[in-house]
Homo-oligomer: A and B are copies of this chain.
Amino acid sequence: MTKKSKEGITFKKEENFSEWYSEIVQKADLADIRFGIQGFIVHKPWGFLILRKIYEYLEKEVESQNHLPFLFPIAVKEKNLKKEKEHAGFTPEVFWVSEAGDKKIEERFALRPTGEAQIYPVYSLWFRSHKDLPFKGYQSRITVFRNEMTTRPFLRGREFMFFETHDVFNTHEEAKQQIEDDLDTCKKVIYDKIKIPFYYFKRPTWDKFKGADETFTPDTLMPDGKRNQLASTHDLGHNFAKAYDIKVVGKDGKENYVWQTCFGPGIWKIMAALIGIHGDDKGLILPFDMAPLQIVIIPITFGKKDDKLMKKAKEMESKIKKEGYKVKMDERDESPGFKYHHWELLGVPLRIELGQNEMKGNSLTLSLRTEDKKRKIKNKELMSSIKKLSLKLDKDIKNKADDYFKNNTKNAYSIKDLKSLIEKNKGFVKVPFCSVDKDGEKCADILKFETEGGSVCGTLYPKEEKVTSNQRCIVCNKKANHIVYVAKSY
């Protein structure tokens, strides 16, 4: 990269989110799209460190629920994929490995589009008795493959990052409890840690995962007003157990099909939300704990050598490091302004400037990534200021995201109003609707056509909003039985 291309974001997020997003992905060292195979991107160090943090949060949560990690191959047998076809339906999108060296291989295999078709046939070998259950397994830090037509970093790829749990129970009650635990994981990680607000939706029948009895998803809103589904958790019932013959002998001595759930947080989708929702025209904004570098120290020397100042800055660096922070002194031979912009672009939360003024006055200048001002503090206040400002940063990020999210949910009571709100392209619209079962699909299709792409996300979970007795479905005008959320989606 030439130095010029490194210099800041040129598009405005409010004016052109799409270009702004593409630019920040490249310039903030998140991904390199020049790998040369469409939809396969290089996760660059800064981006990878943020993604790794998302993985770490999730791993910690699911392990605290006694999930055990494992790793399945990248391959799926064609035979097993065919069985899955009617349940998951990924077959049209899979990549096939059909040659090795200069020969055709005897039995071609697919690159996994998701885990079910590789994991469940093996589960049918692992469990024999009710005593073997519950079993909770997960794989993390893997990638999966789908031959998507259009691709975009962190939103849609032919290879993208994956995380999945696959749980097996003796009873439906345990399975349903796991769904609640999965949703709780989303709250703890995506909202509490990453500060991304979302609604939990229970998906309408026609839009759930094919092999699931019920599907639940936490969905957020991107700055262009489109819904971004951040994860999904599925009550699989006996569907896959029957397809892959997963049975255990119960206490009563009889063979029973197991109950299954699976949960897949979208690592990429969460990353896209983090970039899009928190970022601003200067670049990334990262919650304090997520930043690969939390504090940068900039010595202001104006090109002159100043050993005393450099020594002081170095001492400060090791003092801050000792407190457990990720800190770095930027010693590069560049101007302070260049450095400010560089670290703002990458989203480093806190900057400390140390120049002659600061040396004389025994004071320091601090700048927080979410503020447009400089703060003068006394040297001895450094540690308490870092603590205080790190909390303020997280609060700033959370408040901004919450406000944006809250302000972009509207109500509509006619298809005309809905159309107008959706056309403005700003977020969720709540509407009265006839049915979220199979018989509501026709209305959902008409709604999509009329609004040029608005889709029924589902009903709020766990507490569905009440419909008053006189409300009518905005499409068919029959009695409304649900308040559903509508939005355009990626």
A68 CB-CB contact with B under 8 Å:
yes
Within 8 A of B (CB), among A1-47: 1-2, 32, 34-37, 40-45
A48 CB-CB contact with B under 8 Å:
yes
**Min distance, Cβ A342 to any Cβ of chain B, angstroms:** 13
A95 touches which of B70, B99, B137 (Cβ 8 Å): B99
Point out the residues of chain B lying under 8 angstroms from A121, CB to CB: 36
Asked whether A42 lies within 8 Å of B143 as measured between CB atoms, the reply is no
Report if A96-B93 is in contact (Cβ < 8 Å); known contacts: A40-B75, A69-B52.
no
- Contact indicator per residue, chain A 67-109, by CB within 8 Å of chain B (1) or not (0): 0111111110100100000000001111111111110010111
Q: How large is the interface on A (under 10, 10 to 19, 20 to 34, 35 or more residues)?
A: 35 or more
A77 touches which of B37, B49, B333 (Cβ 8 Å): B37
CA distance A46 to B178 in the complex (A): 23
A71 touches which of B42, B91, B101, B131 (Cβ 8 Å): B42
- Contact indicator per residue, chain A 285-300, by CB within 8 Å of chain B (1) or not (0): 0000000000000000
A302 CB-CB contact with B under 8 Å:
no
**Min distance, Cβ A244 to any Cβ of chain B, angstroms:** 12
**Min distance, Cβ A321 to any Cβ of chain B, angstroms:** 13
**Min distance, Cβ A106 to any Cβ of chain B, angstroms:** 10
CA distance A92 to B93 in the complex (A): 28
Asked whether B74 lies within 8 Å of A45 as measured between CB atoms, the reply is no
**Min distance, Cβ A431 to any Cβ of chain B, angstroms:** 36
A159 CB-CB contact with B under 8 Å:
yes
Stretch of A122-130, A363-371, A436-444 with 4 or more beta carbons under 8 angstroms from chain B: A122-130
Point out the residues of chain B lying under 8 angstroms from A45, CB to CB: 68-70, 137
Point out the residues of chain B lying under 8 angstroms from A51, CB to CB: 71
Number of copies: 2
Report if A35-B122 is in contact (Cβ < 8 Å); known contacts: A72-B42, A73-B159, A100-B147.
yes
Asked whether A70 lies within 8 Å of B96 as measured between CB atoms, the reply is no
A60 CB-CB contact with B under 8 Å:
no
Point out the residues of chain B lying under 8 angstroms from A128, CB to CB: 1-2
A141 CB-CB contact with B under 8 Å:
yes
What 8 A-B pairs have minimum CB-CB distances, sorted nearest first? A45-B68, A40-B73, A96-B99, A43-B71, A100-B147, A92-B101, A141-B141, A95-B97
Q: A42-B71, A74-B74, A95-B105 are in contact. List 16 more A-B contacts (CB 8 A).
A: A32-B125, A35-B73, A36-B77, A36-B80, A36-B121, A37-B73, A37-B109, A48-B71, A74-B159, A95-B99, A96-B98, A96-B99, A97-B98, A99-B108, A101-B147, A131-B332
A/B interface sample: 13 pairs, CB < 8 A: A1-B126, A35-B118, A36-B77, A40-B73, A40-B75, A41-B73, A42-B72, A48-B69, A48-B70, A51-B71, A95-B97, A96-B99, A98-B98
